[in-house]
Structure 1
Amino acid sequence: MTIYSLYIYDRHCTCVYYQDWHRTKLPKPAAEGGILPAVSHQVYPQPQQDTISTSDPISTYSSPRNTLSSSSGVVVAVNEEQRTTTPQPPQAQSGLSFDEEAKLVYGVVLSLRNMIKKLSGKDEQFVNYKTSTYKLHLYETLSGYKFVMLSDPNADSLRFVLRQIYSGPFLEYVVRNPLVKMDSKERGIDNEYFRTSTDRMIRGLSVFQ
C-alpha cells in the first residue's frame, strides 16, 4: 500500500496546492495561464527561453555568457541558476497536462458529492471511493477547502490524515501565516514549511512505503 498524490482546492474550484510521492507517470506541466503560481514548481509551466536570431542586426552577442553588448555597452544580467542547473533524468509523463488533470479530479469529487446528497440526503457525506487502481479520499472544511488524496486501492480510509494536514500544517503555516495571501484568484498556497511538514507527516504513516 502507498500514497500517490495530494490536491487542495479552494471554494472557487481552483487547485491551490499539489504534491505527489509514488506516481509512476508524472503529469505534464500545465499550460500557460492554466495554473496559479505557487501550486507546485514541478507542474508549473516552464519559461520559454528566447531564441536569438543571427540575422537580427540588434543582437550582437550569440551566447548568454556574453554579458556586454558591443553596440550599446549595456550590461545584460545573466541568471546564474540556469547555468548551474544539473539536468534531471527524464521521467515518464501522463498524457494529460496538470491543469486538465486537476479539473478532472475536482469534477469527479463534485459529481459524486452532489449525487450522494441527492440520493441519500444532505446529512450524508462523500468521504472516499475505490477503483481497481486507486482510492480517492476527501476531506472538506467548513471554509470550502477540499483536501483530496489518491492512494493504493487497498488502503484504509485516510480522511483522518487529511484532517490532520488541515488542523496541523495548513492552519500553522498557511492560515496563520501573515505572509501567505489567502486569495486563490492570484496564487496558490505553496511554501517551504507547509510542503516540508506535509511531506514529513505523510512519510511517517504506516501506509506509506
Structure 2
Amino acid sequence: MTIYSLYIFDRHCACVYYQDWHRTKHLRPATEGGILNAVSRAVAPQTADTSTPNSSTVTSPRNTLSSTTGFVVAVGQDPTVPSQTSPDPPKSNTLPFDEEVKLVYGVVLSLRNMIRKMSARDEQFTNYRTSNYRLHVYETISGYKFVCLSDPSTDGLRYVLRQIYSGPFVNFVVRNPLVPMDSREQGIDNDYFRASVDRFIRSLSVFA
C-alpha cells in the first residue's frame, strides 16, 4: 500500500496545490498559462533560459550539475556545454499537468453529481477504486476539495484528508495572512504547509 499524490482544488475549480510521493510515470510540467502560480515547483511551466554563458551561476569546480541542461558533467568541464555522452531526456507520453488536473477534477465532479442525483438520501462521494489506483475525496464547507490518489488496496483515506485540512491547511494557509484564499491568480505553495503535509503523509502506516 502507498500514497501517490495529493491535489487541492478551490471553489473556482482551480488546482491550487499539488504534491506527490510514489508517482511512477514521468510528470510533465503544465503549459504556459495552464495553471495558477505557486501550485508546485515540480509542475510549473518551463520558461526559456535567456541567460548568457557569462551569467552562469556555476562557479565552483565541485559543482558538477550544469545550470542550463541538468546533465552531470566532468569536473573542470565548461558547465555551459553538455557532455557528449549524456543521454537524451526520457520521452513521456503522459499529459501536461494542466490537462491532468482537468481530468481529475472532472471525474470528481461527475461522480459527485451522479451520486447526488441517483441517491435517495443525502450521500457523499468519498472514494472510488480501479485496478490501478484508488481516488479519495474530502470537500470542505468553503468549497475546497482535497483529492488523494493511492494504491487500490488502501482503505478509505477521507479521514487523512480531513486531518490535513484541520491541521496543516488551517494552521499554515487559512491563518496565514500572506496566503490568498480566494485568488484566481495564485496557488498555496507555502513551504511550511508543504513540509507539514509531507511529514504527516510519511508518518502514516499506509505510506511505504
Q: 2:57 aligns with which of 60, 80, 85?
A: 80
Q: Call closer, same or farther: CA 1:91–1:182 in 2, change over 3 Å.
A: farther
Are the counterparts in 2 of residues 139 and 147 from structure 1 also a CA contact under 8 Å? yes
Deviations 1:35-68, CA, capped at 9 Å, x for gaps: 11110000101121238xxxxxxxxxxx431xxx
Q: In the alignment, is the contact (CA less than 8 A) between 1:24 and 1:92 conserved in 2?
A: no
Identity %: 67
Q: TM-score, normalised by structure 1?
A: 0.83
Hey, which bits of structure 1, 4+ residues long, moved more than 2 A? 78-94
Structure 1 match to 2:46 = 46
8 A Cα contact 1:139 1:162, kept in partner = yes
Distance of 1:79 and 1:180 partners within structure 2: 33
- Is 1:141 the counterpart of 2:118 in the alignment? no
Number of the residue aligned with 1:131: 130
1:174, 1:189 within 8 Å by CA — same for their partners in 2? Answer: yes
Partner of 1:207: 206
| Letter paired with 1:106 | Y
| 1:23/1:50 CA distance change after superposition, 3 Å | same
Query: Rg: which structure is higher?
Result: 1
Amino acid at match of 2:27: P
SS at the partner of 2:113? helix
Other-structure match for 2:16: 16
2:53 maps to which of 64, 67, 80: 64
Unaligned 5+ segments in structure 2 are 73-88
Deviations 1:134-178 (A, max 9, x none): 000000000000000000000000000000000000000000001
| Structure with the larger RCO, 1 or 2 (CA within 8 Å, 6+ apart) | 1
- Which AA in structure 1 matches 2:50? D
1-structure distance, mates of 2:64, 2:121: 52
State the Cα deviation string for residues 158-206 of structure 1 (Å, max 9, x = none): 0000000000000000000011111330110011100000000000000
SS at match of 2:95: strand
Residues in 2 aligned to 1:208 and 1:82: alpha-carbon distance in whole angstroms? 40
Q: Using the alignment, how far apart are the partners of 2:205 and 2:104 within structure 1?
A: 25
Give the match for residue 173 of structure 2.
174
Native 8 Å contact 2:26 2:94 kept in 1: no
* Displacement after TM superposition at 1:26 (Å): 3.0
Instruction: Give 5+ residue unaligned stretches, structure 1.
Output: 52-62, 66-77
Q: CA RMSD in A?
A: 2.2
Q: Name the SS of the counterpart of 2:123 in structure 1.
A: coil
For residue 98 of structure 1, what is the amino acid of its counterpart?
Answer: F
Aligned length: 186
Segment drifting more, 94-103 vs 42-51: 42-51
C-alpha contact (below 8 Å) 1:10/1:184 kept by paired residues? no
SS in 2 for 1:17: strand
Q: Provide the C-alpha distance between the structure 1 equivalents of 2:184 and 2:59, rounded to a whole number of angstroms.
A: 29
Give the structure 1 partner of residue 191 of structure 2. 192
